[in-house]
Amino acid sequence: MSSRTTGSSFRLVAWGVGGSLIVGTPLVVATLRTTDQSWLSPFWAVWGLVIGVIGVLMAIDVDVQLLPRELSLPAFAVSLVTLSITEGPAEIGRWGPLLGATLMTTVTLFLRLVSRGSLGMGDVLVSPLLGAVLGWFDPWAALSAWLVAAIVGGSVAVVALVRGAPRQSLVAYGPFLFVGTAVALLGTAL
């Protein structure tokens, strides 16, 4: 194995672990602060799935600017079903995950249309997963997640342009969506 492959593999693992920690830590904190879910509850397995999938998605998106639907859509389906039958802290009860998924996806799809495809379809297809998770706590947190993602992503883009990056350079937007989700999760816990 060449050192290039080893370095690249290490970088991907680091991004994956980083993505898992970025979203996983606020997710666990928000759950512990807003619910009385036992550590033995199967509910925690869903959070484990979500955290693992987000870590893998972040690594892939940073590496090749793709968010594979083969990961995000099944994770969304499992999460939506489980979260919809598990009473969460959302004021609208079991409808929270569905409303959160709808809001997050609608905003992403709208922004994809107005940006003329700058946002990829993978960003649209990962949005239901992130929105369902946020919606379990507070469906309106999906809007906060997008606001944070736009501010952080826009700031990074400005810095890249100032440093001389071409305007047409591709930037993976998934990590900004994950950061926005993490910040919105922390907001639900406070």
10-residue block means of pLDDT along the chain (190 residues)? 55 88 91 83 86 92 90 95 88 93 96 85 95 95 94 88 76 90 92
pLDDT at 170: 67
What is d(CA 43, CA 98) in angstroms, rounded to the nearest whole number?
A: 17
Q: How many CB atoms lie within 10 A of CB 41?
A: 13
pLDDT at 167: 67
What is d(CA 153, CA 108) in angstroms, rounded to the nearest whole number?
A: 14
Instruction: Please state the pTM of the whole predicted model.
Output: 0.90
pLDDT at 72: 95
Structure tokens at 108: 């992403």
Contacts of 19 (CB under 8 A, 6+ apart): 54, 55, 56, 57, 58, 59, 175, 178
- Return the domain boundaries, the chain: 3-189
pLDDT at 115: 83
Structure tokens at 33: 């602060």
